[in-house]
Amino acid sequence: MTMPFYVSPEQLIKDKADYARKGIARGRSVVVLEFDNGILFVAENPSRALHKISEIYDRIAFAAVGKYNEFENLRVAGVRFADLRGYSYDRRDVTSRSLANAYAQTLGTVFTEAPKPYEVEVVVAEVGPEQGTDQLYRLTFDGSVADEHGFVAMGGSAESIGEVLKEGWQESLTLSAAAKLAVKALGRGENGEQREIDPAGLEVAVLDRARPRRKFKRLTGPKLSELLG
């Protein structure tokens, strides 16, 4: 009788984590950053059909990198979670914190119990009634949650992108200035080289606190070109 193949729990967790990180690193990056009147989302995404950035509820949006089918399942589950909670209780009871906790449980369970972890990284963002009350939650493939402030960079070149954002971000940024900073950051390569990004290859959206109940809005075409100058 052959002996069963044994892998220590520590090695199994390490292998899963390495596998997920490699999958995420192959994806194009996403930037989420706060500006003076809300939260801006910018992603490199030439597809007009497959979105990396989406509305979840009135004041809440979702951005992700990694395998599309996996983070799309999370997005759909988040919309259902928010709709059910808002219908059962009150729309004000739907918060980014509760949604992030639900995602954390799902990602953590998949990471520990499923043969293959989700190759995704997610940001759940909620715009507040005034500047300084916005919320950004970053979730990694193993269900870890980080409460971020100011900006978040995800994807293959997250480290170099984060350096550009750290140098240029400040609370008083206008929407136009924030968009230009995000595009500049996305164009920064791992080797420090700067490349130009065609606006046609960008997916851009905002959570605008000045809008009525539904704060989410996509920016496309002439509006996006004007925004980027």
Mean pLDDT across 172-201: 87
Q: Are strands 202-208 and 38-44 parallel, antiparallel or unpaired?
A: antiparallel
Place of tokens 């939260």: 39
> Does the pLDDT value for residue 189 go beyond 80?
no
Q: Which residue has the tokens 């980014």?
A: 96
Contact 155, 120 (CB under 8 A): no
Cα dist from 13 to 4, 37, 111, 162, whole Å: 19, 41, 8, 27
**CA-wise closest residue to 162 among 33, 25, 45, 52:** 33
**Closest among 97, 91, 98, 47 to 72, alpha carbons compared:** 47
Within 10 angstroms of residue 148's Cβ, the number of other Cβ atoms is 17
Return mean pLDDT, the chain: 92
Task: Give 126-147 pLDDT, tens digit per residue.
Answer: 999 998 899 999 999 999 999 9
Tokens 């500047």 appear where?
Answer: 131
Rounded to 5 degrees, what are φ and ψ at 167?
A: -70, -35
197 confidence band (pLDDT: 50, 70, 90): confident
Structural domains of the chain sorted by starting position, each given as residue range(s) with its CATH number in brackets:
9-227 (3.60.20.10)
